[in-house]
């Protein structure tokens, strides 16, 4: 089920990861083709400021993925609502403060970004300032679009998420074309087109949060400093990652200006824009890994975490090998799409892109594992990978190699930096594991005491009524071998059989998709915990009994028998899965 779930979430997450980058990609193409190299340089110089806002969005979004994943996994509804409330109010507050500060200090900020001082001989300053002005008005929607993604994944609203991205993309293309051919609004118009597009995306996605059955509720009374600190602490590694990228872009822009001038900065703007789309595959894999890791970590499910590590690594390798091959083969037409026939910038950008795409595979593995480690509370390791990957190694290699190879050395800094990062954190993994190993167990970085001991845990995937009966018999034998009395062992086995057969008879037949049920029994010191997870249509057995109460002793006898033997029953539908936990 994990492999299937991961693939379903991955497609949506890759598409939704492009919510931040698609508008910037479209703007980059339009600016490069129709507004010229100076405008393209202005776009590149504005990028660090855009990344600062993206950093705040990522702080909240990744904090939500980890914190909400854990509260949902633990079944704490009030904590889930608190996380939702805090994230929404924080995004609103950060947007308001950011807008005010940018407009108050717009001129000095533009100069600080490398656009120089205003003057008739410096058109780049005005172009940079105009793009920032147009884009920054969309800051609230920009942040909302980022934090909506994990919530919509948890709700299983993947179709709506994709629809929001498609609407945003279509709107940005149409508005950019109108700006170029009708309004002639320059870089200001390009920024405004992105702003309107982000608001359209938020409008499409927001409807799902207004439904009565939405499991997230905005409850301002739950806004507390403690929750803010907890959310921020889970998101800090992502902020470290984003801030490292801000400094990287800033310093590489300065280095490129000193080595080759504005033509090289324009080429880097194109390369980084194409790279951001390529990185969506790695960041999408990482985001799914983080969310699932947080849920499984809260559930203390060691087996699922190991399987997750295997699946996410395989997915990252397969996807990014394909992306690398496409990037190498399509470098010239991709760069032409941005720069047209500008020979100087085009030659630098094509060669640079071919060197850059060699870094995509190690970069994807780095991003996937740092997100996974964030989900399992290895926050310091996540921060270390972020700083090494996005600042220390690429800047060091770019600076050193540029002394000997010029601009080529700067492009080589990416692949050298990503490879060095992968080797560096692998050394830490091997030290923790006690020796060299490429196994999922080693890279999962779990403590030996994490989760239930294997001898106290029974797990099985069921796909038919016959398998449900077999599982019931196996559970009885498993309980008896752990010195549980015959009657209790039999009742636990019958409970599992009753619930799984009900799912097979009533859930498997609702549609033509392939279904299965994952059963997990953990024998704890003072209780026996059964977790049943299936990928059928949403069904809450606890709520069903409340709504269909009957005085007839034969009505729903199997379900009533199971619930009568439980000390606690908790149900939640998340990620499109039914999750029922029974404490016997």
Q: What is the pLDDT of residue 24?
A: 67
φ, ψ dihedrals at 436, nearest 5° = -60, 130
Compute and round to an integer the Cα radius of gyration of the chain: 26
Strands laid side by side in the 517-523 sheet = 457-462, 517-523, 528-534, 577-583, 568-574
Produce one character per residue of 21-48: b if its CB has 16 or more CB atoms within 10 Å, e if not: bbbbbbbbbbbbbbbbbbbbbbbbbbbb
Work out the average pLDDT over 76-92. Answer: 86
Q: What is the pLDDT of residue 551?
A: 55
Check whether 52 has a pLDDT greater than 60. Answer: yes
Residue with tokens 């950093």: 55
Say how many CA atoms lie within 13 Å of 34 toward its Cβ.
19
Q: What angle do CA 165, 62, 70 make, to 5 degrees?
A: 115
What integer best gives the mean pLDDT of the chain? 82
Q: Are 429 and 385 in contact (CB under 8 A)?
A: no
The top-scoring range by mean pLDDT among 6-15, 191-200, 240-249 is: 191-200
Q: Where do the H-state alpha helices sit in 179-301?
A: 186-206, 225-259, 262-298
Work out the average pLDDT over 119-145. Answer: 85
Q: What is the pLDDT of residue 521?
A: 87
Percentage helix, strand, coil for the chain under 3-state DSSP, each rounded to 5: 75, 5, 15
Task: Report the C-alpha gap between 407 and 425 in whole angstroms.
Answer: 28
Q: What is the pLDDT of residue 233?
A: 80
- Pairwise pLDDT comparison (508 vs 359), residue with the higher score: 359
The pLDDT tens digits for 136-184 are 888 888 888 888 888 887 787 778 888 888 888 888 888 988 988 888 8
Q: What is the pLDDT of residue 424?
A: 94
Check whether 477 has a pLDDT greater than 70. Answer: yes
- Pairwise pLDDT comparison (559 vs 291), residue with the higher score: 291
Check whether 16 has a pLDDT greater than 70. Answer: no
Work out the average pLDDT over 463-488. Answer: 87
φ, ψ dihedrals at 469, nearest 5° = -65, -45
Percent of the chain at pLDDT exceeding 90: 9
Q: Please name the residues in contact with 435: beta carbons below 8 A apart, sequence gap of 6 or more.
A: none
Q: What is the CATH number of domain 454-583?
A: 3.30.565.10
Count other Cβ atoms within 10 Å, centred on residue 555: 12
The pLDDT tens digits for 375-433 are 888 888 888 898 898 888 998 998 899 888 888 888 898 899 999 999 999 999 999 88
Q: What is the pLDDT of residue 321?
A: 92
Q: Where in the chain is the domain with CATH 3.30.565.10?
A: 454-583
Check whether 66 has a pLDDT greater than 90. Answer: no
Q: What is the pLDDT of residue 453?
A: 74
Which of 113-122, 130-139, 368-377 comes out lowest in average pLDDT? 113-122
pTM beyond cutoff 0.75: no
The pLDDT tens digits for 195-237 are 898 899 888 888 888 887 787 888 888 888 888 888 888 777 7
Which of 41-50, 236-245, 310-319, 487-496 comes out lowest in average pLDDT? 236-245
Task: Report the C-alpha gap between 313 and 315 in whole angstroms.
Answer: 5
Count other Cβ atoms within 10 Å, centred on residue 221: 8
Q: Please name the residues in contact with 453: beta carbons below 8 A apart, sequence gap of 6 or more.
A: none
Q: Are 241 and 386 in contact (CB under 8 A)?
A: yes
Percent of the chain at pLDDT exceeding 70: 93
The pLDDT tens digits for 351-363 are 888 888 899 999 9
Q: What is the pLDDT of residue 8?
A: 74
Say how many CA atoms lie within 13 Å of 126 toward its Cβ.
8
Work out the average pLDDT over 488-512. Answer: 83
Q: What is the pLDDT of residue 124?
A: 85
Count other Cβ atoms within 10 Å, centred on residue 229: 11
Confidence of residue 287 (pLDDT cuts 50, 70, 90): confident
Q: What is the pLDDT of residue 552?
A: 55
Check whether 334 has a pLDDT greater than 60. Answer: yes
Q: What is the pLDDT of residue 425?
A: 92
Q: What is the pLDDT of residue 20?
A: 58
Q: Are 476 and 493 in contact (CB under 8 A)?
A: yes
């Amino acid at each position: 089920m994990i492999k299937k779930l991961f693939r379903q979430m991955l497609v949506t997450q890759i598409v939704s990861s492009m919510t931040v980058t698609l508008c910037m990609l479209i703007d980059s193409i339009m600016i490069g083709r129709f507004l010229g190299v100076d405008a393209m340089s202005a776009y590149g110089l504005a990028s660090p400021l855009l990344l600062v806002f993206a950093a705040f969005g990522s702080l909240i979004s990744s904090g939500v993925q980890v914190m909400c994943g854990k509260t949902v996994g633990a079944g704490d509804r009030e904590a889930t609502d608190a996380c939702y409330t805090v994230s929404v109010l924080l995004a609103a507050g950060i947007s308001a403060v950011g807008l005010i500060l940018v407009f108050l200090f717009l001129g000095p900020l533009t100069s600080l970004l490398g656009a120089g001082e205003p003057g008739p001989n410096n058109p780049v300053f005005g172009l940079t300032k105009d793009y920032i002005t147009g884009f920054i008005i969309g800051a609230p929607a920009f942040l909302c679009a980022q934090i909506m993604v994990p919530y919509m994944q948890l709700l299983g609203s993947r179709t709506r998420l994709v629809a929001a991205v498609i609407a945003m993309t279509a709107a940005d293309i149409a508005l950019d074309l109108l700006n170029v051919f009708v309004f002639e609004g320059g870089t200001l118009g390009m920024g405004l087109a992105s702003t309107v597009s982000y608001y359209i995306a938020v409008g499409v996605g927001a409807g799902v949060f207004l439904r009565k059955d939405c499991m997230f509720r905005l409850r301002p009374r739950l806004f507390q400093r403690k929750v803010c600190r907890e959310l921020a602490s889970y998101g800090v590694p992502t902020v470290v990652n984003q801030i490292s990228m801000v400094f990287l872009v800033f310093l590489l822009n300065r280095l490129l200006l000193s080595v080759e001038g504005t033509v090289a900065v324009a080429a880097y703007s194109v390369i980084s824009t194409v790279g951001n789309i390529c990185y969506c595959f790695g960041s999408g894999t990482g985001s799914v890994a983080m969310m699932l890791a947080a849920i499984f970590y809260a559930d203390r499910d060691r087996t699922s975490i190991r399987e997750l590590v295997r699946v996410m690594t395989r997915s990252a390798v397969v996807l990014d090998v394909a992306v690398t091959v496409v990037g190498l083969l399509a470098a010239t037409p991709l760069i032409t799409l941005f720069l047209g026939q500008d020979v100087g910038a085009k030659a630098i950008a094509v060669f640079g892109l071919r060197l850059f795409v060699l870094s995509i595979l190690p970069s994807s593995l780095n991003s996937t594992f740092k997100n996974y480690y964030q989900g399992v509370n290895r926050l310091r390791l996540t921060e270390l990978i972020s700083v090494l990957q996005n600042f220390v190694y690429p800047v060091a290699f770019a600076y050193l190699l540029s002394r000997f190879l010029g601009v080529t050395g700067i492009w080589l800094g990416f692949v050298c930096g990503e490879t060095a990062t992968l080797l560096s954190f692998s050394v830490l993994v091997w030290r923790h594991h006690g020796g060299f190993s490429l196994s999922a167990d080693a890279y999962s970085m779990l403590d030996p005491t994490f989760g239930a001991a294997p001898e106290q845990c029974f797990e099985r995937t069921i796909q038919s009524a016959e398998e449900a009966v077999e599982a019931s018999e196996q559970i009885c034998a498993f309980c008896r071998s752990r010195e549980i009395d015959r009657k209790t062992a039999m009742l636990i086995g019958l409970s599992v059989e009753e619930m799984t057969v009900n799912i097979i008879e009533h859930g498997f037949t609702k549609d033509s998709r392939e279904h299965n049920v994952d059963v997990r029994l953990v024998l704890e010191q003072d209780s026996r915990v059964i977790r049943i997870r299936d990928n059928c249509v949403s069904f809450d057995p606890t709520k069903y009994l409340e709504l269909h109460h009957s005085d007839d002793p034969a009505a729903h006898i199997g379900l009533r028998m199971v619930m009568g033997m439980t000390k606690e029953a908790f149900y939640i539908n998340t990620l499109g899965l039914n999750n029922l936990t029974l404490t016997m």
